[in-house]
Amino acid sequence: MFLHSRHLSGRGTAASLTAVLAALATAGLTWNASAAAPPGTAARGVHTCTVGHLRLSAGRTEGAAGSLYRPIRFTNTGRGSCALRGYPGVSVLDARHRQIGPAATHSGRSFATVVLAPGHSASAVIRTANGPVGGPCSRTGSYLRVYPPASHKPVLIPAHWKVCSHIFQVGPVNTRGTF
């Protein structure tokens, strides 16, 4: 839910915020201001999601405008909320777990802290070219090796993926499923 307060008066902003918080409370939810914490700050009282608290999976590949996109979903399997902020590390592996080509580069998109309640998910989207338009395609990998943001422990996700034209990017973790 987004609240664009610049279009409301001071009194309208307070009333709108009160209405939003009341609606969330009625639904059994709470608003967490740290979900959009500025860079360098942590979500107060919420620990960083670790591999032990996450289930990672790959979504369906979609094509658009000469590119292929595939979401990597991060689902909180823990008992409490946890936070993710930034970009995951992603590389393609063959069936013997050997890396094929370089790891994904960051899309350069800005990001905010994402707080995941238990059972909730966020995703980061990977991108490559839809065929050899500016260079060759690598061989198809069998796994994606994914390091969640702020983690030094990877997760292997069974997923067929090949990089074409030396384009391999990953977007930041977010709740909108955007690149």
Model confidence over 30-85: pLDDT tens digits? 333 333 344 334 457 899 999 999 999 999 999 998 999 999 999 999 999 999 99
What's the pLDDT score for residue 43? 58
Strands 169-170 and 105-106: parallel
Strand order in the sheet with 89-93: 99-100, 89-93, 141-147, 155-161
Which of 126, 178, 121, 149 lies closest to 50 in space, CA to CA? 149
Band (87; pLDDT cuts 50, 70, 90): very high
Asked whether residue 159 carries a pLDDT value surpassing 60, the answer given is yes
Asked whether residue 86 carries a pLDDT value surpassing 50, the answer given is yes
Number of Cβ within a 10 Å radius of residue 29: 12
Model confidence over 108-154: pLDDT tens digits? 999 999 999 999 999 999 999 998 888 899 999 999 999 999 999 99
Band (10; pLDDT cuts 50, 70, 90): very low
What pTM does this model have?
0.75
